[in-house]
C-alpha cells in the first residue's frame, strides 16, 4: 500500500495519475483546514493501514511565500510522516528541492529543515529527491506567477523576459524518478534534473511569439544552477530535452492555427 501526499498539486497530481494507471493500491492525504485536523488524519491512516511506501509531494511550494507557517506544513508535517514511516518500516520518498542545499527563502529553509529531520532518523529508509526547475503541461493548475518559463512561453503568457539560465526538467521525468526510487527502494539524497542549463533567450527563440519585453534580470533572481549527473538516482536518466520539446509544441501550435 502506498500513501501519497499533495495529490492536488502539480507533481503530486501526475504521480496520482500514474499510480491509478498502474493499478496500485494507494491512499492520499491533503493539507487540511488546520494542522490539528491534518495530524488526526495522519494518525488514523497509519493506524488503519500498513504502508510500504510514502510519497511526500505535498508542500507550500511558493518560493516567495513570506508566512512562517510554511515550516508547519513543509517541515514539521514531514517530521510526523517520517516518524510513522520509521515505525512501520515504510520507505519514504521526500520531494524536496535543489534550493534546499543553499536556501535563501523561507521555502528553501523549510525544505532544508525537513531534510535534516529525515536524516536524523537512523532507522528510516528515506530517499530525498532534489528536483531542479520542473515544467510541463500540468502547470496549468498552478498560479501564473509560479509557472515555469517554458510553459509560459508555450502558452503565450509572459510580459517580461529576463536573462536567466536554468536546468529545466520535465514533470514526466520527475515522476519516473519517483517510481524508480520506489521500485528500487532507493536510500540517499539525489538530484533530479538534466545536467544542462538553457538560456531564456534560447527558449524564447523556439517560438515565433514576441509578445514580451526583454528586461534586466532583477537582483533577487538566483544565479543559474545545474544538476550533477553523478548525483542522479542510479539507473535513472532524463528523457525530455526542453528545447526539442518546445520546438515540437511550437510546430503543433502553428499547424493548429
DSSP per-residue string spanning 18-53: HHHHHT--EEEE---SSHHHHHHHHHHHHHH---SE
For the cut 80, the answer to whether the pLDDT of residue 254 exceeds it is no
- 55 - beta bridge partners? 4, 93
Q: How confident is the model at residue 201 (pLDDT cuts 50, 70, 90)?
A: very high
Instruction: For CA atoms 189, 195, 199, 205, give the dihedral sign.
Output: negative
Q: What is the pLDDT of residues 32-72, one digit of tens each?
A: 778 999 999 999 999 999 999 999 999 888 888 889 999 99
Predicted local confidence at residue 29, as pLDDT: 82
**Bridge partners of 199?**
165
The confidence score (pLDDT) of residue 41 equals 92
Q: Which has the closest alpha carbon to 158: 206, 91, 108?
A: 206
Residue pair 96/135 in contact (Cβ under 8 Å)? The answer is: no
* pLDDT for the residue numbered 87: 94
254 or 179, greater pLDDT: 179
Our count of domains for the chain comes to 1
Q: Which residues pair with 180 in a beta bridge?
A: none
Mean of pLDDT values over 82-105: 94
pLDDT for 168? 97
pLDDT at 143: 85
| pLDDT score recorded for residue 107 | 93
Percent of the chain with pLDDT over 70: 99
- Per-residue model confidence as pLDDT tens digits over 109-144: 999 999 999 999 988 999 999 999 999 999 998 888
Candidates 205, 257, 199, 196; CA nearest to 228 is: 196
> Which of 48-62, 80-94, 220-234 has the highest mean predicted lDDT (pLDDT)?
80-94
Q: What is the mean pLDDT of the chain?
A: 91
DSSP strand pairing (126-131 vs 133-135): unpaired
For residue 216, pLDDT over 80 is answered with yes
For range 5-27, the mean pLDDT:
87
pLDDT for 257 equals: 67
**Residue 52 burial (C-beta neighbours within 10 Å; 0-12, 13-18, 19+):** middle
Region for residue 67 given its phi and psi (left: phi exceeds 0; alpha: psi -120 to 50; beta: otherwise): beta
pLDDT for 156 equals 93
Measure Cα distances from 96 to 10, 141, 204, 214, 218 in Å.
Answer: 14, 20, 28, 32, 25
State the pLDDT at residue 60.
86
**Non-local CB neighbours of 102 within 8 Å, separated by 6+ positions:** 108
Q: 66 φ, ψ to 5°?
A: -115, -5
> Across residues 62-85, what is the average pLDDT?
92
Containing domain of residue 60, as a range?
2-255
- To which residue does cell 495529490 refer? 7
- Read off the C-alpha cell for 82: 517520517
CATH number at residue 54: 3.40.50.720
Amino acid at each position: 500500500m502506498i500513501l501519497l501526499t499533495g495529490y492536488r498539486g502539480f507533481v503530486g497530481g501526475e504521480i496520482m495519475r500514474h499510480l491509478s494507471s498502474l493499478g496500485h493500491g494507494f491512499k492520499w492525504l491533503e493539507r487540511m483546514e488546520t494542522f490539528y485536523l491534518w495530524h488526526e488524519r495522519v494518525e488514523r491512516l497509519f493506524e488503519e493501514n500498513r504502508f510500504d511506501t510514502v510519497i511526500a509531494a505535498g508542500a507550500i511550494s511558493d518560493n516567495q511565500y513570506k508566512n512562517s507557517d510554511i515550516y508547519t506544513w513543509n517541515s514539521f508535517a514531514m517530521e510526523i510522516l517520517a516518524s510513522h514511516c520509521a515505525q512501520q518500516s515504510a520507505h519514504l520518498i521526500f520531494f524536496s528541492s535543489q534550493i534546499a542545499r543553499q536556501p535563501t527563502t523561507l521555502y528553501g529553509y523549510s525544505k532544508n529543515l525537513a531534510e535534516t529531520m529525515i536524516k536524523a532518523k537512523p532507522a528510516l529508509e528515506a530517499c530525498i529527491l532534489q528536483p531542479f526547475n520542473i515544467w510541463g503541461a500540468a502547470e496549468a493548475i498552478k498560479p501564473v506567477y509560479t509557472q515555469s518559463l517554458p510553459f509560459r512561453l508555450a502558452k503565450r503568457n509572459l510580459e517580461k523576459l529576463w536573462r536567466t539560465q536554468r536546468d529545466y526538467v520535465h514533470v514526466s521525468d520527475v515522476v519516473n524518478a519517483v517510481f524508480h526510487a520506489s521500485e528500487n527502494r532507493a536510500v540517499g539524497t539525489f538530484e533530479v534534473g538534466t545536467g544542462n542549463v538553457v538560456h531564456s533567450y534560447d527558449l524564447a527563440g523556439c517560438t515565433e511569439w514576441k509578445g514580451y519585453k526583454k528586461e534586466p534580470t532583477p537582483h533577487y533572481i538566483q544565479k543559474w544552477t545545474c544538476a550533477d549527473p553523478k548525483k542522479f538516482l542510479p539507473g535513472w536518466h532524463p528523457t525530455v530535452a526542453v528545447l526539442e520539446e518546445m520546438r515540437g509544441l511550437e510546430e503543433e501550435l502553428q499547424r493548429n492555427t
